């Protein structure tokens, strides 16, 4: 992949379009019928907030509750990026979601469904300072290149270094977080913090599953809790899970960059209950 990224990207697209994501293709073709009349669950997982891990956790619980999992964002990202915006555009997103019998996620932006109250929703976000910092190492060292845009972003970030990357990407990420927080406030959705989940995963999972209707199998929940592992013995910048601790930005960035983030993100930090300088 690293030595021949162009051919890898083209081959990856072909595999995703014709081999992987069979469930998503069946769903979009109307061939994946629901098994239950229970409300569908939507999981919004912010970037670098254990969304892959939580997606698997909720998928296990959803499958036990006979909800069918559909990962629309990943499907469109890996097959036709031009269709991703349809998921997050008011009106256009309506035909892509069904109110009963499915588990959707992870999704990383607000879905502007008119009848969002008909769904069971969970939203997990991480301290944006850590998201930006982790995002640099992810795109440069860890993430699989999925298309030409990703390849271009990877090369640009590698040339910048972490501090310049964080500063350049801050405005867009700040706007995105404020959009999500405004959407959550308007929709009456509680923001779950990644840091609270990591600090006490067992207590957190036992708390969030009942409102989602995913608490029917307590034995499975306890099994998931017992198998969860948030320890990173030695940080590896090429690994997907490099560091799960809060405040990693303070250890990776120059002090002036950390101060810049605290200043520019004051509103976001206050609304999410984070402290500056930590």
| pLDDT at 275 (0 to 100) | 82
% of the chain surpassing 70 pLDDT: 84
Cα–Cα distance for residue pair 38/124, rounded to 1 Å? 22
| Side-chain-side CA neighbours of residue 138 (13 Å) | 15
Q: What's the average model confidence in pLDDT over 169-188?
A: 96
pLDDT band at 260 (very low <50, low <70, confident <90, very high): very high
Note whether 110 and 75 are within 8 A (CB).
Answer: no
pLDDT digits (tens, 9 = 90+) for 104-142: 999 999 999 999 999 999 999 999 999 999 989 888 776
| pLDDT at 150 (0 to 100) | 66
- Residue 143, pLDDT above cutoff 60: no
Nearest one of 196, 198, 200, 207 to 273, comparing CA atoms: 196
Pairing verdict, β 191-193 and 120-125: parallel
Coil vs helix vs strand at 19: coil
Domains of the chain: 5-219+236-272 (3.40.50.300)
Note whether 272 and 181 are within 8 A (CB).
Answer: yes
Give phi and psi for 19, each to the nearest 5: -120, -55
pTM of the model: 0.85
pLDDT digits (tens, 9 = 90+) for 23-60: 999 999 999 999 999 999 999 999 889 999 999 999 99
| Side-chain-side CA neighbours of residue 207 (13 Å) | 9
Measured from the Cβ of residue 103, the count of other Cβ atoms closer than 10 Å reads 23
| pLDDT at 234 (0 to 100) | 46
Residue 226, preceding bond cis, omega within 30 degrees?
A: no
Which residue reads 């599953």 in tokens?
A: 209
| Side-chain-side CA neighbours of residue 135 (13 Å) | 22
pLDDT band at 231 (very low <50, low <70, confident <90, very high): low
Q: Average pLDDT over the chain, rounded to whole? A: 87
pLDDT digits (tens, 9 = 90+) for 181-210: 999 999 999 999 999 999 999 999 999 999
| pLDDT at 232 (0 to 100) | 45
pLDDT band at 244 (very low <50, low <70, confident <90, very high): low
């Amino acid at each position: 992949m690293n030595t021949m990224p162009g051919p890898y990207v083209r081959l990856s697209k072909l595999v995703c379009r014709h081999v992987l994501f069979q469930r998503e293709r069946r769903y979009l073709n109307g061939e994946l019928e629901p098994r239950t009349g229970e409300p569908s669950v939507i999981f919004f997982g912010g970037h670098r907030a254990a969304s892959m891990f939580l997606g698997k956790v909720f998928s296990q619980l959803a499958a036990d509750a006979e909800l069918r999992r559909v990962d629309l964002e990943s499907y469109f990202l890996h097959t036709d990026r031009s269709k991703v915006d349809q998921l997050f555009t008011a009106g256009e997103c309506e035909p892509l979601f069904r109110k009963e019998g499915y588990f959707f996620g992870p999704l990383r932006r607000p879905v502007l469904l008119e009848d969002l109250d008909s769904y069971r929703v969970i939203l997990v976000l991480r301290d944006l300072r850590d998201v930006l910092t982790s995002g640099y190492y992810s795109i440069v060292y860890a993430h699989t290149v999925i298309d030409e845009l990703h390849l271009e972003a990877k090369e640009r970030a590698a040339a910048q270094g972490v501090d310049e990357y964080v500063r350049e990407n801050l405005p867009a990420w700040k706007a995105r977080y404020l959009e999500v927080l405004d959407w959550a406030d308007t929709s009456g959705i509680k923001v779950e913090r990644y840091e609270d989940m990591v600090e006490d995963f067992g207590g957190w999972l036992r708390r969030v599953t009942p409102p989602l209707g995913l608490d029917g199998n307590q034995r499975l929940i306890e099994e998931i809790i017992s198998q969860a592992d948030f320890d990173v013995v030695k940080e590896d910048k090429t690994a997907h899970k490099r560091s799960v601790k809060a405040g990693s930005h303070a250890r990776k960035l120059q002090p002036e960059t950390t101060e810049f983030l605290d200043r520019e993100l004051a509103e976001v930090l206050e609304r999410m209950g984070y402290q500056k300088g930590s």
